[in-house]
Amino acid sequence: MNPLLPEHAQQNLILASESPRRIELLKMLGFEFRVEPARINEADETIARDPFMLPQELARMKAEDVGSRFPDALVVGADTVVILDGRALTKPRDDHEAAEFLKALSGAVHTVVTGLAIKKAASAVLFSGKEETRVRFRELTKEEIDSYVASGEGRDKAGSYAVQGLGACLVRSIEGCHYNVVGMPIALLFELMNRAAGTGG
């Protein structure tokens, strides 16, 4: 259990994500939880297409989907996108697209947005929010881009990089929450869990 949150706020906790980064962060924070991936169609055309609203909407869908299957659980849904010039860079389809993403990010400032949603056990109440962090890449050479893509680290990552791994070598500066860039804004998570804990029922 995490000593900074009431015990009842952490009981029967489920993470609606198989992301190794999110799993690692929750373990680091002392949470006891299980993983149940959501069964949603992220390509559904009815989902909000505003890139700044998309991650929060997807997080809500994930929390509600898993919450409907495990009504006695406290479910945490999360989704992260990288936004450059109004365009959402999601997980690359292949290495060619990964290289194109990194070429576009080179020398530029982009925004990482993570949406969080918490579905409280036995309640219709959903607590949600989003965190935004500005990240500046240094100028990358073609050789650096090719080498990073070949490492495979960015293949399942929004924007095609992982700031907690080799991708740290690509980043010049971060303005805002570092953990948001990893995929789980910890301060926002605690704020939402505290709100859920204080609603009773």
Query: Which stretches within the chain are classed as H helix?
Result: 20-28, 54-69, 95-105, 142-151, 178-182, 186-197
- 65 catalytic? Reply is no
CA-to-CA distance for 102 and 106, rounded, in angstroms? 6
Q: Which of 50, 65, 79, 85 is catalytic?
A: 79
Closest CA to 13 of 80, 70, 91, 56: 70
CA-to-CA distance for 124 and 197, rounded, in angstroms? 14
Give the up-direction half-sphere exposure of residue 179: CA atoms within 13 A in the CB hemisphere.
Answer: 17
- What are 173-180's contacts with CB under 8 Å, separation 24+? 173/135, 173/136, 174/133, 174/134, 174/135, 174/136, 175/133, 175/134, 175/135, 175/136, 176/131, 176/132, 176/133, 176/134, 177/131, 177/133, 178/133, 179/25, 180/80, 180/112, 180/114, 180/131, 180/132, 180/133
Active-site residue set:
79
